[in-house]
Structure 1
Amino acid sequence: MASINTNVAAMTALRSLTATNSALTQTQERISTGLRVATAADNAAYWSIATTMKSDNSALSTVQDALGLGAAFVDVAYTALDEAKNIVTKIKDKLVAAAQPGLDRAKIQTEVTELQAQLGGMSGAATLQGQNWLSVDSSAAGYNATKQIVSSISRAGGAISVQTISINTSSMVLFDSNAAVAGVGILDGYRNGTTGAIYAVQPAVPAATDFRLANINISALTDSTADLATLDGYIKGADRAITEMAAGATALGAAKARIEIQTSFVSSLMDAIEGGISQLVDADMNEESTRLQALQVKQQLGIQALSIANGSSQSILRLFQ
């Protein structure tokens, strides 16, 4: 039935054209943004998952920065500790030379004193961002010998947690200004005058033969049996200190290797998460460009169909001519 009140064909063509225009607009948005899911309205579930993943990826980027800073802390401590080991080796060499009877030990002490001063200055300078792992005050409020470096984040049951790498620095402390125990570092801790071993628990009243490497003085030592025994204890103490510092440097080296491995892992993890996000929300540009061309053709055909449908009403006028 032909009607001048209702043009069903035109209405159908208009609905089809409107749907085509809507799809064309959506496709154009996907092409311009590169996203298949740009808002929660596009796909609420995918958008929510992708948003959480993006948040975690951003946090992992911060973790990378923390790992880089942690590596810097380790490098500073390792560099200073390794140099301290070399200086103590020089002190040990001077002490061995002083064991030769007849040498002017006062002159040798002049060199030893300079090396001791270098140890103190270098340990104090091994600071980064206000942290010093080699020269500490264990009596300070909040002091903790175990340092934490943020290494990653994990999510379980929707709850996020921060993971860390722990580095125990107690074995590598060179100077400790804790007045209550008169120093417990490798260089300022009291050592047994016979064996050169550092006391695990510092004596409240050191024995007359106990000594600290940071302030040994051989200028007054003679060739007497007692003085030579004292010098022998100093040599043993320096040798033990070298071994102790080597152990501390080994711990730092192991920590640095772990940080490097973790840094590589975090980088790979970020790439994997980025790939997952892309799979959820990114548009397939090949598919969208093909779809765009098809919709443009469909739009042109829709416009033509609507024009034809609207034109059909004009044929009714011919009946009245």
Structure 2
Amino acid sequence: MTNSLLTNTSAMIALQNLRTVNKGLSMVQEQISTGKKVANAKDNAAIFAISTVMQSDVKGFEAISQSLNLGAASVGVARGAAEKITELLVDMKGLIVAAQEDNIDRTKIQTDIGQLREQIDGIVESAQFNGLNFLKGTDSTDFLASLDRDAAGNVTASAITVDAFSLETAAGAAVVGLDTTGSTGVNAAGDAAAALIADTNDFEIHVDTGATFTEGDVWELRIDGRKINYTVAAGADHDDVAAGLESAINAAGLSGITVALAGGGAADAEVIISNNTGGAVGFEVTVTDGTGGGLANLNTLSVTTSADAAAALVSIEGLIQEAVDASAEFGSAQKRVEIQNEFVTNLTDALKTGIGALTDADLEAASARLQSLQVQQQLGIQALSIANSSPNSILGLFQ
């Protein structure tokens, strides 16, 4: 090999190797200090892009978990309140049963019923969490439940919807519409009727041909506690109302309950509901403008007379069922929210694990690599030193 003063090939090779070793040593030291093998886009653009998107999803799911925690707490308050209201209605039923006796002070029982109603009002008013009360009104609330990303990278949000279930006792305005002579157990105002119907007997709803029917009016029918609603449509007449009630009853699919229509036209439209269940069944129908709460009938619950006490016994069953339905609705919603929250938590952990697999450094391997590169660096420095001293041998040629 020819020696040259201008070009030291050995030194150039040694320097190149040393640069490579120093570069590798710098990368390993960065991995050890940051704990990541892909800390920025320069390290690995594809992996950095994937991990960044996944990290953004993790932040989103962590926020979703907070939303679901809020939802579970809100629904839990409503469920607890509905269950307590159910207990109070059961206590009220005990008072009404006692009022069926003739030798009883019904005035005092009526006072106790009024106190329980006021307690229910207090529970409904206080059953809120952060201002959200599911026992008032009929609006629904959406709780953010998930972020769904498709293959194209488009993200859509999905939510769990929880419906309010009114247990307010505020009564809607009564609306006439029941014929006061033909309907079974009808009151004098023609806005409500209730009766306990024995097996093989009928409960008759006579829709008054002379009544005015307003869009939005609600005919609420309870059969053995099962609530069936019909809302009056625009332009409906007595025949339309009767047909709507028949359709709603058939849609409920109650075993042993059949319904037929009679009359109509110039006469009252008759909805004849037959009880073939094998036992007595409570029937109740009320007509309001639809603004009342789910327990509005508590306002008219009376045991001051024997007839009132008998009607109250029919009504209380429907009110208890209303509260039971609310408890079940909120219980199911709370369970669903908690299940989704558990899933989101597990999904977040899985995403974090996936991000770590893509970007985290293998510190055991990095430690071993560091030791190797440090040795190579020392050897590279020695090799460069030797290569740099080789031109000195040219001086011997001129001595």
- TM-score bracket for the superposition, by shorter chain length: 0.7 to 0.9
Provide the rounded CA distance (Å) in 2 between the counterparts of 1:205 and 1:71. Answer: 33
Give the aligned partner of residue 173 of structure 1. 166
Report the aligned-residue RMSD.
Answer: 2.4
CA change 1:263–1:217 in 2 (3 A) is closer
Q: CA deviation at 1:194?
A: 3.0
Q: CA deviation at 1:179?
A: 6.2
Q: Which runs of 5+ in 2 are unaligned?
A: 176-190, 197-220, 232-285
Task: Report which of the two has the higher share of helix.
Answer: 1
Give the aligned partner of residue 265 of structure 1. 343
The higher relative CO (CA closer than 8 Å, separation ≥ 6) is in 1
Q: CA deviation at 1:212?
A: 4.2
**Paired residues of 2:89 and 2:316 also in contact (CA < 8 A):** yes
**Paired residues of 1:181 and 1:204 also in contact (CA < 8 A):** yes
CA change 1:264–1:215 in 2 (3 A) is same
Is 1:285 equivalent to 2:363 in the alignment? Answer: yes
Provide the rounded CA distance (Å) in 2 between the counterparts of 1:180 and 1:26. Answer: 78
CA change 1:149–1:205 in 2 (3 A) is closer
Percent identity over the alignment? 37
Provide the rounded CA distance (Å) in 2 between the counterparts of 1:237 and 1:101. Answer: 20
Give the aligned partner of residue 244 of structure 1. 322
How many aligned positions are there?
Answer: 295
User: Residue 297 of structure 2: which of 192, 206, 213 is its match?
Assistant: 213
Provide the rounded CA distance (Å) in 1 between the counterparts of 2:166 and 2:359. Answer: 52
CA-to-partner distance for each residue in 1:231-251, whole Å, 9 max, x for gaps?
A: 111121111111222122112
CA-to-partner distance for each residue in 1:123-147, whole Å, 9 max, x for gaps?
A: 01001121111122x5xxxxx3x33
Give the aligned partner of residue 157 of structure 2. 162
Q: CA deviation at 1:178?
A: 8.9
Provide the rounded CA distance (Å) in 2 between the counterparts of 1:313 and 1:134. Answer: 95
TM-score (norm 1): 0.85
Q: CA deviation at 1:67?
A: 1.2
Task: Report which of the two has the higher share of strand.
Answer: 2
CA-to-partner distance for each residue in 1:167-188, whole Å, 9 max, x for gaps?
A: 333xx31127696789xxxxxx
Give the aligned partner of residue 225 of structure 1. none
Provide the rounded CA distance (Å) in 1 between the counterparts of 2:107 and 2:348. Answer: 62
**Paired residues of 2:171 and 2:297 also in contact (CA < 8 A):** no
Q: CA deviation at 1:304?
A: 0.2
The farther-off stretch of 76-85 and 279-288 is: 279-288
Q: CA deviation at 1:149?
A: 2.0
Letter of the structure 2 residue corresponding to residue 158 of structure 1: G
CA change 1:45–1:177 in 2 (3 A) is farther
Give the aligned partner of residue 141 of structure 1. none
Give the aligned partner of residue 106 of structure 2. 105
SS in 1 for 2:145: strand
Q: CA deviation at 1:205?
A: 7.9
SS in 1 for 2:194: coil
CA change 1:251–1:311 in 2 (3 A) is same
Provide the rounded CA distance (Å) in 1 between the counterparts of 2:174 and 2:141. Answer: 22
**Paired residues of 1:35 and 1:282 also in contact (CA < 8 A):** yes
